[in-house]
């Protein structure tokens, strides 16, 4: 029940939606094969540390909830620590059902893409 409430809250009132109040150092995107869900992750970075992360997303509510959860985890972490973050954590935190796993993969794919963009 707690996970269900959290999922709903993150969908209805995400704290980490993309905004224009700062410039972002990296942007990554991913989509699902059927293109029914899209996710972008934006990172603001200073001194090897993520100052803030934000997302834009199109898809079922669980996609928004996953993106919001991920951005919350990212804020304040060093890039090294962040690399240790796993999909399993997300699955556990939001109690993803088997048919919802794609949402977790999607937001992590977007994050990987952002990191790749950062490195280049």
Residue 20 structure tokens: 């224009």
Question: Binding segment for other proteins among 45-53, 59-67, 70-78, 81-89 (CB under 8 A)?
Answer: 59-67
Asked whether 29 and 110 are in contact (CB, 8 A), the reply is yes
Q: Element (H or E) spanning 10, and its range?
A: helix 2-12
CB of 81 to other proteins, least distance (A): 27
Q: How many helices (H) and strands (E) does the chain have?
A: 5, 3
105 lies in the site for other proteins, by CB under 8 A:
no
Binding residue (CB under 8 A) for other proteins from 10, 50, 59, 90:
59
Of 13 and 84, the one with the shorter C-beta distance to other proteins is 13
83 lies in the site for other proteins, by CB under 8 A:
no
State the number of CA atoms in the 13 A half-sphere of 18 facing the CB.
Answer: 16
SS (H, E, C) 12-55: HCCCCECCCCCCCCEEEEEECCCCCCEEEEEEEEECCEEEEEEE
CB of 26 to other proteins, least distance (A): 15
Question: Binding segment for other proteins among 29-37, 76-84, 87-95, 111-119 (CB under 8 A)?
Answer: 29-37
Interface positions with other proteins (CB under 8 A): 8, 11-12, 14, 17-18, 29, 32-40, 56-61, 63-64
């Amino acid at each position: 029940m707690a996970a269900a409430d959290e999922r709903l809250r993150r969908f209805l009132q995400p704290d980490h939606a993309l905004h224009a109040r700062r410039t972002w150092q990296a942007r990554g995107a991913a989509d699902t094969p059927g293109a029914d869900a899209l996710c972008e992750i934006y990172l603001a970075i200073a001194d090897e540390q993520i100052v803030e992360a934000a997302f834009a997303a199109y898809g079922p509510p669980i996609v928004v909830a996953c993106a919001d959860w991920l951005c919350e985890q990212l804020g304040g972490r060093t890039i090294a620590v962040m690399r240790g973050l796993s999909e399993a954590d997300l699955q556990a935190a939001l109690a993803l059902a088997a048919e919802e796993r794609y949402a977790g993969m999607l937001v992590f794919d977007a994050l990987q893409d952002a990191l790749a963009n950062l490195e280049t």
